[in-house]
Amino acid sequence: MWYSILRVGDGEIDRQHMNIDAYLRQIGDKYQDPTEIVVKTIDALISHFKSEEDHCENKNYNMSQDHKNEHLRLKEKLTEIKMHVATKQLDQFIAAYTIKGILYEHIHNSYQIL
Ligand SMILES: [Fe+2]
Ligand SMILES: [Fe+2]
């Protein structure tokens, strides 16, 4: 578990975090193309950030500006990783390891207020 290692206490957000972890677990599955899974994981994550922000707004949760800024920063970083993986300049397993670390850090640093 990486993104879902801590529950934030909202069912929808926790479900989306578990879904991202499910993608990450598929990297290394010998029947799947790891490049494709990394790209799909990053696409799912970027759409999750937006969905999380919209959900918090709808539920009147007070998502901090720092949390939103962190989404922007991670989006740029993940887009860069995706490009390097897609053009074979970055190993998919190193990319997956980096993504897991990013999410582990994000869940510990950005969700105290939810
Ligand atoms: Fe999230
Ligand atoms: Fe977040």
pLDDT score of 92 more than 90? yes
The answer to whether residue 1 sits within a structural domain is no
**Each residue's pLDDT tens digit, 12-55:** 999 999 999 999 999 888 888 999 999 999 999 999 999 999 99
pLDDT score of 90 more than 90? yes
Cα 86 to averaged position of ligand 1 atoms, centre (Å): 24
Domain count, the chain: 1
Q: Which of 39, 44, 3 lies closest to 21 in space, CA to CA?
A: 3
Cα 35 to averaged position of ligand 1 atoms, centre (Å): 23
Q: What is the pLDDT of residue 110?
A: 87
């074979």: which residue's tokens?
88
The CATH number covering residue 49 comes to 1.20.120.50
Cα 79 to averaged position of ligand 1 atoms, centre (Å): 17
CA dihedral 107, 114, 80, 105 (to 10 degrees): -20
Structural domain range at position 71: 11-110
Cα 36 to averaged position of ligand 2 atoms, centre (Å): 23
Cα 113 to averaged position of ligand 1 atoms, centre (Å): 13
**Each residue's pLDDT tens digit, 49-82:** 999 999 999 999 999 999 999 999 999 999 999 9
Backbone angles phi, psi at 4, to 5 degrees: -100, 15
